[in-house]
Structure 1
C-alpha cells in the first residue's frame, strides 16, 4: 500500500474549515462547512452544523442510545462490510461476559475518515483507513476521552471496554482505527516502522479534531481531555503523554506495549517462547529446562495453563507481523515469515535474534520507542499473568523508565494479581483469572479525582486477588488498594 498522506504531511488535517435504538436524523457530508450559531440545548442540537476539521468524509446520526445497548441494534453487516454504529466483531473477546452494559445516553455520533491511501478498513463499505468515531452525549459533563485501538482492530474495538462507561458518565468519546488495520497492517508505509508511527499521528490528529468539533456542538472546548486504551492502545497513551502532553490532562494505560530500541520488546521474548514452548509441551527430559527458559524469558510462573492458547493464537502470529513491520529484511521476499516454522529452518522467526540484527532494525524501533518522559498524570495497569506481554518485560520496565526520567510523581502503577492480557480468557478459565476491565474503570475514576481534587491515588504496587468472589462481582468491581499509604511518587 502507498504511504498515508498524513504520514508524509502531519499538518494535513489542519487544512479543513474552522472550527443506539432509534435513528432520527442523518447527514452525509464530504466537504467542510462553516457552523452557524444555534441553541446548544436539546436532543442532538446542532447536528447539521457539525464539521470534523480535516475529515474527508463524515456521517452524522442522532441516536437515542450511544452505548452498545443501542448501537448494536442500529447497525447491520452486509456485503459491503459493517455499516452500523458499532461492530460487535471489533470488540469481541476483549471483555468478560458478565460486564454490565450501561444505557440511557442519547446524543450524536459522527463516523468518518481522514485522508489516507490505505484501504484495510471495510467498515461502512468505505474501504478506507483513518476511520474514526466521535460520540457526543446530550448530557455532557465537559470532558473528552480519546482512544486508539488494541491489536490491529478497527475504531469500535473499545466500545464495550471503554466507551460504554465513559459515555454513561457524560463524556464525549472519540476513537480511531490508527490508520491501518488487520494482520497485514505492515504493508502500509514505505519504510520500516511507518505503519506504527502512523498510529501515533492518527491519535494526535483525532484529538485535535474532536476537541474542535466538541466546541462546535457545546459552544466551548472540553474542560478536560483524557487518553486511554489497552495493549497497542496503551502504548499510544504512553506515547501521547510523552510527546503531546499539551493535548491531554492525563491518561490510563492498560498493559501498553513497550517499544525500546535496546529492548526489552516483544521481538526479544516471543522467539524465545517459540523455541522453548514446543519442548515444554512435548514433555520428556527437556521439558523442565524448557519451562525454566520460558520463565527466564519473562513468562510468569503460574501462567503455564495459558501457554497452549497463546502458542496457538498469539505468539507466532504476533512475532511474524511485527517483525515484518520493523525488520522486513530478515526473511527477504517472504512476507511475514513462515508460520510455526521449526528451529533451523532458513529465515525462521523461531530463531529470530533481535540483539544480533543490523543497526537499521534498532533505528526503526527507535522511531516508535518510548522514553518514560511523561508530561501529565498517568495510571498504568498490568496483569501479573499476562502471557502475551509479560509484565516483567513490559510495564515493570516502563514504570522504572518513568522513575528514571524523573517523572515518578506523575505516575501510578498497579500490578493486578491474576490478570492476563485478554479478559475473555477469564470466562475460559473460571476461578483462575480476574478481568482488568473493572480495574480500568476504577483507575479512570482515580485519575479523575487526582485531576479534579489533587487527591493522589493509592500507592503503586500489587493489587491482590481476593478469594471467593463470584464472576459478576469480579467483572464489575476492582479496588486498587495495594495496602500501602499513598505517596508522592511511584
Structure 2
C-alpha cells in the first residue's frame, strides 16, 4: 500500500514552501478529508447489516479492482448507509438544501473498493489509497446504470445525497469514483502538469466499464441504459465522456460542469480578476465602482453581489491557487500553490495571474483536459444564472455555443436556471434570492429518460424563470423545464 503522502511530480523537483492546509478550514464545501467508519465484518466475507438479495454477492467481481468489499444492506440510500458506515456525510456536506427528502426502502448490495493507483490522498475506510469507488445494486432494478464523478476535489460518496439516493430509489444501479486524487493537494499527483485532472477522466471511464460488467453479473443481463451525470467537476466529466467515449453511454446530464478550453475562457481567466477587484469593491470608497465593473466584466453578474463575500472567503482563492498549481506550477517558483489572499503586486500573487500571457507549456497542459463540444450522445446541461464559482457566461453559455458550432446541437439541451447558484446549501441562507438546482437536475434527468426511452424531445433550450414570490418548499419540490 502506498505511503500517505502522494509522490511529487518528478519533473518539478521542489519542496513546498507554504502549506495549503490553512485553506482547508475555509473550504469545507470544496474539500473533505474525513474517513468513513468501517462496517462490521461478517463470517461469510460480506460486510454490513444484512437484508437485500445477497444470493449473488459472492460472485460479484469488479474488473481491475485491487480491493473490493461487498456488503448486503437493508438500505443503500443515506437513510441507512450513514448509520451502517457505508457513506461519509463529510463527503457531501454543503451540497444540498437542508430540507431535501431522503428516500427509503431500497435494499441492495454495495461494493466498496479501489483500483490500482500510486497516490494516497483518500483516507476513506482507513485505506490511504486513491481510485476508490462505490457501486450500489438495488434489489429492485429498472435495467439502468448511472455513473458519476465527484464535484470539487471530494471523495466517492460526495454524490450520495444529491444524486445517488434519488436514482437508487428509481431503481438504477449507481456507481461513483473519487476521480483518482482528492483534497486541496490533489495537484501533487501525476508526473506533469495537467496529469491529475486528466486522471479524473480515465477513472470515470474505468469505473463505467467495470460497473457495466458488475451489473451484468448481478442481474444476469447487461444494462439497457447507461447514463453519466454529475455536478461541477462531475459535470465536466460528463461532457468529456460524451465527447471521448460516447460508446459507453446512452446520454448524460451535466449539472454546471466546469469548462476547460485551451484558449479560454476557463477558471484561470475569471478567478484572478475576482481576487484582485473584490477587496477594493468590499472596502467601498474610491475605486469601489471601478472594481465592481471589473467583477461584472469578469463574469460575475450584477445582482449576485450578496454571494461574493462568502465565495471570496471560501472558494475563489483556494480554487485559483490549487488549479493554477496543477496546470502552471512554475508561476510561483518553489512555493506550493501560492500565497493565500495575497495582495496584488506582491511577487507571484495569484490575483495578478494572466492565463493568456503564460507560456505555451501552460496552454498545452490545459489542452490535455480541454473540451471540444463534439458530443457523441445526447446531453442536457443545467446551470444557475447566479453561479459565482463558475459564472454561467464564462462556462455553460460558452459550452452550449461550442456544441452548436460542432454541429451537435440536435442532441443537446441547455437550461439556464434563474436564481440557481453553485451549491444548493446556500439556498438555506438566502431563501428569498436563490432556488435549489437539485429539482432542476431531476427534471433534466427525467427529460433525458423520456428522450431515450420514448423518443420524446425535451423542451427547447431556455432560461427557466424564477417564479414570483415562490415558496422555498415549492421550489425544492419541482422545477418545470417547460413554459407554464
Normalising by the residue count of structure 1, what TM-score does the alignment of the two structures yield? 0.89
Q: What does 1:457-476 align with in structure 2 at a 5 Å threshold? A: 457-476=458-477
Distance 2:288 2:145 in 1: 51
**How much has 1:25 moved relative to structure 2?**
5.5
Aligned: 1:118 with 2:128 = no
Partner of 1:247: 248
- Cα deviations across residues 56-95 of structure 1 (Å, max 9, x unaligned)? 00000000000001111101xxxxxxxxx00111000000
Distance 1:157 1:458 in 2: 30
Distance 1:464 1:206 in 2: 37
Partner of 1:86: 87
**How much has 1:289 moved relative to structure 2?**
1.1
Distance 1:64 1:24, change over 3 A: farther
Distance 1:410 1:23 in 2: 46
Aligned: 1:366 with 2:367 = yes
Structure 1 moving runs of 4+ over 6 Å = none
RMSD over aligned Cα atoms: 1.6
Partner of 1:70: 80
- Cα deviations across residues 202-240 of structure 1 (Å, max 9, x unaligned)? 000000000001111111110100000000000000000
- Cα deviations across residues 152-177 of structure 1 (Å, max 9, x unaligned)? 00000000000000000000000000
Distance 1:141 1:274 in 2: 47
**How much has 1:27 moved relative to structure 2?**
5.9
Partner of 2:14: none
Partner of 1:80: none
Partner of 1:78: none
1:414 aligned counterpart, secondary structure: strand
Distance 1:26 1:360 in 2: 54
1:25–1:61: 8 Å Cα contact kept in structure 2?
no
Aligned: 1:52 with 2:78 = no
2:83 aligned counterpart, secondary structure: coil
**How much has 1:24 moved relative to structure 2?**
9.7
2:110 aligned counterpart, secondary structure: strand
**How much has 1:247 moved relative to structure 2?**
0.1
Distance 2:235 2:347 in 1: 34
Distance 1:150 1:27 in 2: 35
Distance 1:28 1:384 in 2: 49
Gaps of 5+ in 2: 1-5, 10-38, 47-51
Distance 1:65 1:454, change over 3 A: same
Distance 1:409 1:162 in 2: 26
Partner of 2:296: 295
Partner of 1:195: 196
2:413 aligned counterpart, secondary structure: strand
Partner of 2:107: 106
2:414 aligned counterpart, secondary structure: strand
Distance 1:59 1:363, change over 3 A: same
Partner of 1:310: 311
1:26–1:60: 8 Å Cα contact kept in structure 2?
no
Partner of 1:325: 326
Distance 1:294 1:399 in 2: 23
Distance 2:42 2:429 in 1: 41
2:8–2:188: 8 Å Cα contact kept in structure 1?
no
- Cα deviations across residues 270-290 of structure 1 (Å, max 9, x unaligned)? 000011111100101211111
- Cα deviations across residues 280-332 of structure 1 (Å, max 9, x unaligned)? 00101211111111100000110000000000000010000000000000001
Distance 1:378 1:102 in 2: 26
1:73 aligned counterpart, secondary structure: helix
1:376 aligned counterpart, secondary structure: coil
Partner of 1:283: 284
Partner of 1:82: none
**How much has 1:100 moved relative to structure 2?**
1.0
Point out which structure has higher relative CO (alpha carbons under 8 A, 6+ apart): 2
**How much has 1:98 moved relative to structure 2?**
1.0
Gaps of 5+ in 1: 5-21, 30-41, 76-84, 484-490
Distance 2:458 2:170 in 1: 20
Distance 1:350 1:394, change over 3 A: same
**How much has 1:476 moved relative to structure 2?**
2.4
Normalising by the residue count of structure 2, what TM-score does the alignment of the two structures yield? 0.90
**How much has 1:347 moved relative to structure 2?**
0.6
Distance 1:391 1:240 in 2: 21
Distance 2:241 2:189 in 1: 21
**How much has 1:43 moved relative to structure 2?**
1.6
Partner of 1:487: none
